[in-house]
Structure 1
Amino acid sequence: MPDLTEQGRAKRLRQDALRARSFRTPRTIMALILREMSTTHGRSPGGYLWAIVDPVAGLLVLSAVFSFAFASPPLGNSFPLFYASGFLPFMMFNEIANKMATSIKFSRPLLAYPAVTFLDALIARFLLVLLTHMMIAYIIFTTLIFVLGARAQIDLPYILLGIISTAALGIGIGTLNCFLMTSFSVWERTWQILTRPLFIISGIFFMFGDMPKVAQDILWYNPLIHVIGLMRSGFYAAYKDDYISLLYVWGIAVSTFTFGLLLLWRNHRRLLEN
């Protein structure tokens, strides 16, 4: 029988190992985030700040251009606000899904170290994109409503639910695509081709309720229609959101995330060796 001193020492060693492991993951994720910021934006004028200024300026310019093409928005008094309430969740989903899908490819050299896991790479890219796009959305909506005078009846719970649902959908699709794109190089190009029409058919420029019944029956299966509808409900009290199904959106998000994570967990060593 080992003495109590040896048992106590072994117990302390196990506790110290668990404590070190629990602090290692946040440090690893932060290091990956800083690496992403410096690698992607380090050579750009303004550094990481350009990641926020570029889409904000681009969206404001596009909004001004489209406002001349459309006499009046389907809702409210500001076409830029109507456009932003549809385009921002679309852009957030697209960026989260694409960044997470290429996480292993981007961080492959670091994943050779035992301290860095594929899950750390996924979390780091997700957090950076989410925080960036939340800052973009805050700047744009604040400017449009409080500076340019766009009329809106803000319902914060709907806005937050729209952001969370958009992020969840991006996580799910991005995690599944991370396995598919790393395993099959042709899938990355195929996915880009398949999703190119989403900009037109996701309700950025139109309202779901204004479409013909035949079109509604088809477009309903596009989950972006639902998350964009959630976002618009947070700015327009008159928006008809009875078609929105959170069960459908979260069903896709949870199922694709679970399936993608399982595939990555079982195959990540093989993917790193290829």
Structure 2
Amino acid sequence: MSDINLARRAPQRPYRNGPRFRMARTVVALMLREIATTYGRSAGGYVWALLEPILGVALLSIIFSMAFREPSLGTNFPLFYATGFLPFAMFNDLTNKVAASVRYSRPFLAYPSVTFMDAMLARVILNALTHTTVIAIVLSGIFIIFQLPVVVDMMSIFECLVMTTILAVGVGTCNCYLMTAFPLYERAWGIATRPLFLMSGVFFLYDQMPAKAQDFLWYNPILHCVGLMRRGIYPTYDATYVSPGYVFGISIVLIVFGLLMLVRNYRNLMER
């Protein structure tokens, strides 16, 4: 009887341990798939991921250096616009990637072991790490090329990256449901968010805006992410208007709402 019991118990060990790592294996597999499809199997895809923000920062620096003698903060145009453009680009790209996660991984979601949470986590982790690496390379390159003194607050920079990621996940989760359930919403969202680039403090400091504009723009959570990044790069910039609690609060509410809508309507969305 003891041998029979041991024989029965032996096959159960892999089954017990399997689900514990199933989600991790699925997320890693989806990440590898996106690396192959988005960035290609060569280094060229990642080179473009690095060149795109560099070209964006360079273009802003050239244009505004012709109109102004100095940027709104500091004396280096590339550094000022990099601290505004890079967090905004991270938020924008992560939001779009999370919003399209269900449609992007639809063929794999037919398998019982793959859920929409796996697809979303894979895209968040991969693209957050990619943008973090790009930000580190671009800012380090600016400091080295222009021989600027490196006095940065790493905690503020880290908090900015976390805050931007969570905000993007919250907005992207809600958009994931809305864009999948209502295809026209994607166009409406694209039109409505075009002014965000001008309203997020990329070009000018929040402190230098008119009082009426400050009262309105303070409720833009991306503005807080940009301000926190500049606080981390410029030691003399306090950015007292930044409220991490406000951004995290909005992000959590959006994540909870988006996940509830996806869980309740997941089957219907898969049939569209």
> TM-score w.r.t. structure 1 length?
0.92
- Structure 2: gaps spanning 5 or more residues: none
Structure-2 residue corresponding to 1:89: 87
- Count of aligned pairs: 272
Question: Counterparts in 2 of 1:141-160, with a 5 A limit?
Answer: 141-151=139-149, 153-160=151-158
Q: Please report how far the alpha carbon of residue 254 of structure 1 lies from its aligned counterpart in structure 2 after TM superposition.
A: 0.4
**Aligned pair partner of 2:17 in 7, 16, 19:** 19
AA in 2 matched with 1:79: F
Q: Please report how far the alpha carbon of residue 138 of structure 1 lies from its aligned counterpart in structure 2 after TM superposition.
A: 0.8
Q: Determine whether 1:191 maps to 2:205.
A: no
Distance 2:167 2:8 in 1: 44
Distance 2:131 2:154 in 1: 17
Note if contact 1:92-1:130 (Cα within 8 Å) is conserved in structure 2: yes
SS of aligned partner of 1:33: helix
Question: Counterparts in 2 of 1:111-130, with a 5 A limit?
Answer: 111-130=109-128
Distance 2:223 2:210 in 1: 15
Q: Please report how far the alpha carbon of residue 225 of structure 1 lies from its aligned counterpart in structure 2 after TM superposition.
A: 1.1
Of stretches 41-50 and 15-24 in structure 1, the one that deviates more from structure 2 is 41-50
Output the aligned Cα RMSD.
2.1
Distance 2:269 2:8 in 1: 36
**Aligned pair partner of 2:97 in 80, 85, 99:** 99
Of stretches 110-119 and 59-68 in structure 1, the one that deviates more from structure 2 is 59-68
Structure-1 residue corresponding to 2:159: 161
> TM-score w.r.t. structure 2 length?
0.92
Q: Please report how far the alpha carbon of residue 43 of structure 1 lies from its aligned counterpart in structure 2 after TM superposition.
A: 8.1
Q: Please report how far the alpha carbon of residue 270 of structure 1 lies from its aligned counterpart in structure 2 after TM superposition.
A: 1.3
Structure-1 residue corresponding to 2:168: 170
**Aligned pair partner of 1:181 in 179, 182, 185:** 179
Distance 2:52 2:257 in 1: 34
What's the CA shift string for 1:200-239, capped at 9, x where partnerless?
A: 0110111111111111110011001111111110011221
Q: Which runs of 4+ in 1 moved over 4 A?
A: 3-15
Instruction: Decide whether aligned partners of structure 1 residues 152 and 195 sit closer, same or farther in structure 2, where only a CA change above 3 A counts.
Output: farther
AA in 1 matched with 2:201: G
Structure-2 residue corresponding to 1:70: 68
SS of aligned partner of 2:223: helix
Instruction: Decide whether aligned partners of structure 1 residues 91 and 10 sit closer, same or farther in structure 2, where only a CA change above 3 A counts.
Output: farther
Of stretches 123-132 and 234-243 in structure 1, the one that deviates more from structure 2 is 234-243
